[in-house]
Every structure is written in C-alpha cells, then in structure tokens.
Structure 1
Amino acid sequence: MIFRREAPIHTRTTEIAPGIHRLSTHVADVAPPAGFTFNQFLIVADEPLLFHCGPRSLFPSVSSAVAALIPLDRLRWISFGHIEADECGAMNLWLEAAPRAQVVYSPLGCNISVSDLADRAPRSLGEDAVMDLGGKRVRLVPTPHVPHGWEAQMLYEETTSTLFCGDVFTQVGDGEAVTESDIIPAAMAAEDMFGATSLTPDTAPTLRRLAELAPSLLAVMHGSSFRGDGAEALRRLADEYEQRLNVAATR
C-alpha cells in the first residue's frame, strides 16, 4: 500500500492484555472515507517479540512507539502472519535496529520466502511448537491460505489466551483498541469490500481448529481487537465463509 507523504502519521499504543501492547497507525488514505488501521503487537517479556513488522513507510512511527516501551536493542524476536508488505515490509529495518533480533517462522515459510528475504537467518519453529519468552509463551500455528498465503501462520500466547490472528477479522475504520462487541458484521463488510480471503474447502475447518484454542483475546491486524469468547467468534466466522463457499460452488 502506498501512503501520501504529506499525510500525518501517528502510532498509538494500548496495552490490551498484561504485557501485550497494540501499536496502531490509522491511515486515512487507505479504504476511504473510513481509513484503515495497521496494527503491530509487542509482547513484553524477557525476550520481547514483535508480531507484524508493518510496511517500510510506517517504520519511523512504529519504531518510535516501540522505543517508548522498550529499548529497540532489547527486541529479540520478530514474526508475522504471511509474506506481504504490511506484514513484513519493514522486517530488515527492524533487524538493523535490533541487532539481537531474529525472525521466527514456520519451516514452510522459511523455506519458500523468509530465509531469502531476511538479512539475518530466521529461526524455524515447527507446528504447535512453543517458545518460552520468559514470562510469556507463544505457540506457532500454521494456517495455510487462511486468510491468504501458502505460508500463513498465527501465534497464540498461552498466558493471556491471546490469538494473534493477522488479517482474519479485518475491519475498516479507526475503532477502539479493544471491543467486546460483535466484530463479525464489520469483518464481513470488509470482506465484501476487499475480497481478501482465500475461500477454499480448508478455510472453515482451519478457523474451527483455531477455535479449539479457546482464545479470550483476538489481536486483529486491521481494526479493533476482540475480547470475549474468541472460540465462538471463530466458529461463527467459519460458518460465514462456509456459506459463501457453498454459494460460490453453485454458480
């Protein structure tokens, strides 16, 4: 995505769970008139982890927001949901700013993209493997083509029951950092606008598998995060996509 240089950029920080900070930048030029939020998430632990790098154009603002929470050279791990500019465009800028940092990604993602794209060799972490960050524990969950990208993945932080779900539940606009209201209608409206989800026979089953984690917080990359029954929200989203797939199959 390309942002006009004259547009003011400001990244806001909200602690949405103990030690989990949402870094949100609203960009009015994207999806007008409501605009679009680009959210990164910092897990503060003995070995801090940043989920989503953001695009290169937002790096000055987002890195300043992170630096207000921890020294950048403390950052130890970087990860993201899939290969796309707003997910990993600034990856090498983060690796340069944080000399101890290393990208952590699934073996598939490392093999097909990350090992070549990253200026420093990534750490490969297998399916459902858990990393102890020191005070926080993250599990890697591969989600091929959900919402899109063969190498798609999510992270689940066990101590706060937070699922970092990337582009799933995308919403337009600049809503509150965390909501307990139903986010399904807004997510479906955004899907109607962008058509960004890979709709396959595996879409709904993957979402239902994620529901088995029983997250109480869904950390959403675009839009408000959701606090509540994350399993129910994931199952309802699965039902929506299953219905859409069935309709498409009859055309």
Structure 2
Amino acid sequence: METTVHEIAEGVYRLSTLLPDVAGAGFTMNQFLLDAEEPLLFHCGPRRLFPLVSAAVAKVRPVEDLRWLAFGHVESDECGAMNLWLAAAPHAQVAHGALGCMVSLDDLADRPPRPLADGEVLDIGGHRLRHVPTPHVPHGWEAQLLHDETTGTLLCGDLLTQIGEAPPLVHDADLVSAAFAAEDVFHATGLTAQTAPTIRGLADLAPRTLALMHGPSATGDCAATLRALAEGYAARLDATAATV
C-alpha cells in the first residue's frame, strides 16, 4: 500500500490510501491536511496506517508542525491513530464538538481536547473552519463536520462513502448513486427523521468542494449533490415507514 498526496483546493491536501481487500473492489481511506499557520489534519486514520500517512504529511509540512487534529466522529478509522499523532506533534490538540469531548475524547485523548461550540469558527491562519454538528449523520451521536469557509471545502467524513479506487478529484460526477450502492453493502447510515434535514442544511452552506473520507473529492454543483443525497435518504425513510 501507499499513501498518495494531491492538492484538491488551495492549501487542502488529500492523503489517500487504497485498502485493496475491503468490500471486494477496495476502499479508499482519506485524510485531509490543511496547510496553514496552524496546520490541521482532518481524520487521524487507523493506527496501522500511521507510518504511511505521517510520511505523506511530511511531504507537505513536518509532522511536528501540526497544531490541530479533527475528525467526524469517534471511530477507529477516523481517530485510531489520534494519540500517535499527539506524540509526534507536541503542540497538536484535538478539536471536536463539546459533546464528543465530554462523551469520549476527554478520556481517550492523551492531551485534553479543545471543545468546539455549535457553529464556532476555528481560525487556523489561512483557513477558517466552521464546526457543524451532525448528530447521527451519517452515524455517531457526536458526529460533526468542518466547513472550510476560506476555500469552500466541506470535510465530509463518512458522507457519500463509495467503494472502489477513486481519483483525487472529480467534477460534477454522480456521487449519489455510488453512495447508495455502498450503503446497500454497509448499511452504515443512521436513518432517522433528521437525516435528510441535516444533509439539506449542509447543502445550504454552498460548498465548492466535497472532501470525502471514502471516495474522490469533488467539485461542481456540490449543493445539488447533497440535496440529492438528502432526498434519497428521505425516500428510504418513507419506504421503511410504509412497511411498519
């Protein structure tokens, strides 16, 4: 395996590792490095990928320069290597929603995390990241996303997950069909009455780039993509309710 590095927006780097044996067709594991005065890594990755991903980070900035670590929710592929990063970057701190800090990260992180209020902006010098809580979307009570208002990049976490090897960046691609194909394999989304409204709220941010944890990054009409995803989940919820 190798971890590749591509700049998908100004100062936003996709670090991607293909896991070839997952789900038959393979599965991408992506982290995102925001190069700034206070560099931030979104997704820590699992522990076993730390050597590969840290070497990829070092192609852009020395690992010890990292100031912030963030991720969508508490799950091993998102934060399994969290404490390895904290050890490698002595000034780094985890930034997460206050709920996630209270429920898990105050105990799990080797250094106290920085709790973020709903809608709070973290200015890292060159990128302004707004904390967007998304409880149970796609899963996890403490789920959150970050929207880089400087570049219009939505750090999507597990939203729009797809299976297979993915190019670094696509334009106006059909992400939604691939996402529902993956959903039919993994059944990973917590389907509730708030799933579609939460995703519509993300569309209202009008992002210019979608940075997927599992799949390609994408540009084009990102709001339309998110609204189509929301409508797909709304239809699935209606279909489930009709069978009860």
Query: TM (normalized to structure 1)?
Result: 0.96
Answering whether residue 88 of structure 2 is matched by residue 97 of structure 1, we say yes
Could you tell me which residue of structure 2 aligns to residue 15 of structure 1?
7
Task: Return the letter of the residue paired with 1:218.
Answer: L
- 1:68 Cα deviation from its structure 2 partner: 1.3
Answering whether residue 115 of structure 2 is matched by residue 127 of structure 1, we say no
Q: CA RMSD in A?
A: 0.6
Q: In 2, Cα distance between the equivalents of 1:228 and 1:152?
A: 25
> Which 4+ residue blocks in structure 1 deviate beyond 6 angstroms?
none
Answering whether residue 204 of structure 2 is matched by residue 246 of structure 1, we say no
Task: Return the letter of the residue paired with 1:119.
Answer: D
Matching of residues 172-251 of structure 1 within 5 Å: 172-180=163-171, 181-251=173-243
User: What is the DSSP-based 3-state SS (H/G/I as helix, E as strand, rest coil) of the residue aligned with 2:229?
Assistant: helix
- 1:224 Cα deviation from its structure 2 partner: 0.7
Residue-by-residue CA offset, 1:82-105 (whole Å, 9 max, x unaligned): 011100000000000000000000
Could you tell me which residue of structure 1 aligns to residue 48 of structure 2?
57
Q: 2:150 aligns with which of 159, 176, 189?
A: 159
Task: Return the letter of the residue paired with 2:155.
Answer: F
Could you tell me which residue of structure 1 aligns to residue 22 of structure 2?
30
Name the count of aligned residue pairs.
242
Answering whether residue 128 of structure 2 is matched by residue 137 of structure 1, we say yes
Answering whether residue 137 of structure 2 is matched by residue 146 of structure 1, we say yes
- 1:30 Cα deviation from its structure 2 partner: 1.1
Answering whether residue 68 of structure 2 is matched by residue 80 of structure 1, we say no
Q: In 2, Cα distance between the equivalents of 1:184 and 1:82?
A: 22
User: What is the DSSP-based 3-state SS (H/G/I as helix, E as strand, rest coil) of the residue aligned with 1:78?
Assistant: strand
Q: In 2, Cα distance between the equivalents of 1:57 and 1:31?
A: 19
Task: Return the letter of the residue paired with 2:191.
Answer: L
Task: Return the letter of the residue paired with 2:189.
Answer: T
Could you tell me which residue of structure 2 aligns to residue 3 of structure 1?
none
User: What is the DSSP-based 3-state SS (H/G/I as helix, E as strand, rest coil) of the residue aligned with 2:156?
Assistant: strand
Identity of aligned residues (%): 60
